[in-house]
Copies of this chain bind each other. A is one copy, B any other.
Amino acid sequence: MFESAELGPKVTKRRYAAELPELRSALLKAHLSLKGTSTPLIIIISGADGAGKGELIHRFNEWFDPRGVDTQAFWQSSDEERDRPRYWKFWRALPERGRIGIFFGSWYTEPVIRRVHHKITARRLDLELDRIAFFEQMLANDGALIIKFWLHLSRKKQLARLKDLESNPRSHWRVLPNDWEHFELYEDFMEAAERSIRRTDAGHAPWHILEASDKRHRDLAAGRILLEALEKKLREPRITGTELAVHAHASGPARRGSPDQATILSGVDLTQKLDSREYKLQLSKCQSLLSRLAWAAWEKKVPIVAVFEGWDAAGKGSGIRRVTEALDPRLYRIVPVAAPTDEERRHHYLWRFWKHIPRKGITTLFDRSWYGRVLVERVEGFAREDEWRRAYLEINDFEDQLAQSGMVLSKFWIHISKDEQLRRFKLREKIAFKQHKITDEDWRNRKNWNGYQVAVNDMVARTSTKYSPWTIVAGNDKKFARIQILKALCDHIKAAL
Q: Which residues of A contact B (CB under 8 A)?
A: 24-25, 28-29, 32, 54, 57-58, 61-62, 65-71, 73, 75, 78-80, 83, 102, 104, 169-171, 173-174, 287-288, 291-292, 295, 317, 320-321, 324-325, 328-330, 333-334, 336, 338, 341-343, 359, 367, 432-433, 436
Expressed in whole angstroms, the Cα–Cα distance for A24 and B432 within the complex equals 11
Q: Could you tell me the distance in whole angstroms from the C-beta of A181 to the nearest C-beta in chain B? A: 18
What are 12 contact pairs spanning A and B, CB under 8 A? A25-B432, A25-B433, A54-B329, A61-B321, A66-B336, A78-B79, A79-B80, A104-B330, A169-B288, A170-B292, A174-B328, A341-B342
Q: Which residues of B contact A433 (CB under 8 A)?
A: 24-25, 28-29
The one of B32, B58, B334, B359 in contact with A329, judged by C-beta atoms closer than 8 angstroms, is B58
State whether B292 touches A57 (Cβ < 8 A).
no
Q: Which residue of B lies closest to A102 (CB)?
A: B329
The 5 residue pairs across chains A and B that have the minimum distance between CB atoms: A67-B336, A25-B433, A73-B330, A170-B288, A173-B295
In the complex, which residues of chain B have a beta carbon less than 8 angstroms from the beta carbon of A292? 169-170, 173
Query: How far does the Cβ of A479 sit from chain B's closest Cβ, in whole Å?
Result: 17
Query: Do the beta carbons of A61 and B324 come within 8 Å of each other?
Result: yes
For residue A24, which residues in chain B have a CB less than 8 angstroms away from its CB? 433
Which residue of chain B is the closest to A337 with respect to CB atoms?
Answer: B67
- How far, in Å, is A77 (CB) from chain B's closest CB? 10
Please give me the residue from chain B that is nearest to A296 by CB atom.
B173
Residue from B328, B329, B436 in contact with A65 in the complex, judged by beta carbons closer than 8 Å? B436
Question: Which residues of B have CB within 8 Å of A80?
Answer: 78-80
Interface of A is mostly: helix
The answer on a CB contact under 8 Å between B32 and A436 is yes
Given contacts A66-B336, A341-B343, A436-B65, contact A173 B328 (CB under 8 A): yes
User: Beyond the given A32-B436, A169-B292, could you list 9 further A-B residue pairs with CB under 8 A, ordered by the A residue number?
Assistant: A24-B433, A29-B432, A54-B329, A67-B334, A78-B78, A78-B79, A174-B328, A341-B343, A342-B342
Do the beta carbons of A62 and B291 come within 8 Å of each other? no
Q: How far is the CB of A216 from chain B (nearest CB, A)?
A: 17
Given contacts A61-B321, A433-B25, contact A71 B333 (CB under 8 A): yes
How far is it, in angstroms, between the C-alpha of A173 and the C-alpha of B69 when the chains are bound? Answer: 48
Asked if B57 and A329 make an inter-chain contact with CB atoms under 8 angstroms apart, the answer reads yes
A295 to chain B, nearest CB (A): 4
Min C-beta distance of A73 to chain B, whole Å:
4
